[in-house]
């Protein structure tokens, strides 16, 4: 039995790939998966099905100034000792880190214990935590070809894993399950796990003739439902851990460009208009959107321009089924196979070889 640890926390974009690879490893067999997370609400919600297999740690950040900087060395050392103790006591055979400060400390702890450690960077622009963590990794895998900038050591592209539970459904069955009319084009709005007020407002301005599926983050859900009222051409749905039906029912998506959203759009071959969040760290969402745009699978649109041009662009794409089919083909080329299984096999091989990569 391989004891595999997965360290990820802070955002859904860090946690989702860890859960995807863990699920793939367990499906392949002979794996006992454990997790190291932060104490954030999103971690507790997404890791809830894992029960007692999750260790929640209060991992200090290393990118903040002010008075907390004076205490950082003491808190960092305490966290490192805690994570070392967990990995040693559990007899970890291999570690995958996918981002966040729980991942950073776990990668450092694994290096000091001689446990083989693999890092995965899902964005085109690596965050500070993963740039630092790559110094302790035996191997770093990236989701995009442009993702290696700023990373140390051996870096290979592997693609971004999606959860094996996500399944492509028959579009008619997906629409039937959601109560969506069969005779109208459907546009899926995705703001990510945190939601996106700007995209929600654009969805509420949908023209006649288009059915909108709006997956809305918790923070804006009450407002959006109130403003949507009893509209028959819109379904407002709280953030779903398994959005298979949403992706399968839609003809087109309008979305932010987080790495996991981009990966899921590729997996479901769903053409999209991507509106990068303009304040993302390192402007990484623009880089993610640019990868899909340049491949022909999406159209990137600046948020400042979206208010005036989004719906005319959407209607144009809905009127061009051949173009959408071409976009779907381009997305299939970006991710022909779910990388979760390839990464899972790599980790199993690593554990079986006692750390050989």
Q: Where are the alpha helices (DSSP H) in 29-67?
A: 41-46
Q: What is the mean pLDDT of each run of 10 residues along the chain (357 residues)?
A: 95 92 93 96 92 93 53 83 97 96 95 97 91 95 87 94 90 95 95 75 93 88 90 87 92 95 95 93 90 96 92 97 98 88 93 58
pLDDT at 67: 44
Predicted TM-score (pTM) of this structure: 0.87
Q: Kindly report the number of other CB atoms within 10 A of residue 289's CB atom.
A: 28
pLDDT at 71: 58
- In the chain, DSSP assigns E strands to 2-8, 31-37, 54-56, 94-99, 117-121, 139-142, 155-157, 186-190, 211-216, 234-238, 252-255, 272-274, 298-300
What are φ and ψ of residue 139, in 5° steps? -155, 140
Whole-number Å distance between alpha carbons of 351 and 97? 15
Q: Are both 2-164+338-352 and 171-334 of the same fold?
A: yes
Per DSSP bridges, beta strands 252-255 and 272-274 are: parallel
Whole-number Å distance between alpha carbons of 350 and 352? 5
CB contact at 8 A, 246 and 265: no
Domain residue limits, the chain: 2-164+338-352, 171-334
Q: What is the CATH number of domain 171-334?
A: 3.40.50.2000
pLDDT at 165: 83
Q: Which CATH class is domain 2-164+338-352?
A: alpha beta
Whole-number Å distance between alpha carbons of 312 and 245? 26
pLDDT at 105: 95
């Amino acid at each position: 039995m391989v004891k595999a640890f997965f360290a990820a926390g802070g955002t859904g974009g860090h946690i989702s790939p860890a859960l995807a690879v863990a699920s793939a490893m367990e499906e392949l067999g002979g794996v006992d998966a454990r997790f190291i997370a932060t104490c954030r609400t999103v971690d507790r919600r997404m890791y809830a099905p894992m029960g007692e297999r999750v260790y929640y740690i209060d991992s200090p950040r290393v990118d903040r100034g002010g008075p907390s900087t004076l205490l950082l060395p003491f808190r960092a050392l305490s966290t490192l000792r805690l994570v070392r103790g967990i990995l040693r006591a559990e007899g970890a055979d291999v570690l995958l880190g996918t981002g966040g400060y729980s991942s950073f400390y776990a990668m450092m702890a694994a290096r000091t214990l001689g446990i083989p450690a693999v890092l995965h960077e899902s964005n085109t622009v690596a965050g500070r935590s993963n740039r630092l963590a790559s110094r302790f990794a035996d191997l770093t895998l990236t989701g995009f070809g442009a993702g290696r900038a700023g990373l140390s050591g051996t870096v290979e592209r592997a693609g971004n894993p999606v959860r094996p539970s996500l399944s492509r459904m028959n579009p008619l069955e997906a629409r039937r399950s959601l109560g969506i009319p069969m005779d109208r084009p459907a546009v899926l709005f995705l703001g990510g796990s945190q939601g996106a007020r700007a995209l929600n407002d654009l969805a509420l301005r949908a023209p006649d003739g288009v059915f909108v599926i709006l997956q809305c983050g918790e923070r804006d859900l009450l407002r959006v439902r109130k403003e949507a009222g009893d509209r028959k051409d819109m379904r407002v749905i709280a953030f779903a851990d398994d959005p298979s039906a949403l992706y399968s029912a839609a003809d087109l998506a309008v979305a932010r460009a987080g790495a996991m959203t981009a990966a899921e759009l590729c997996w479901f071959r769903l053409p999209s208009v991507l509106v990068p969040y303009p304040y993302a760290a390192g402007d990484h969402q623009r880089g993610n959107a640019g990868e899909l745009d340049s491949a022909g699978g999406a159209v990137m649109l600046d948020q400042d321009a979206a208010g005036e041009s989004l719906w005319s662009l959407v209607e144009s794409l809905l009127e061009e089924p051949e173009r959408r089919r071409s976009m779907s083909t381009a997305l299939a080329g970006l991710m022909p196979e779910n990388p979760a299984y390839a990464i899972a096999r790599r980790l199993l091989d690593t554990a079986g070889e006692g750390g050989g990569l």
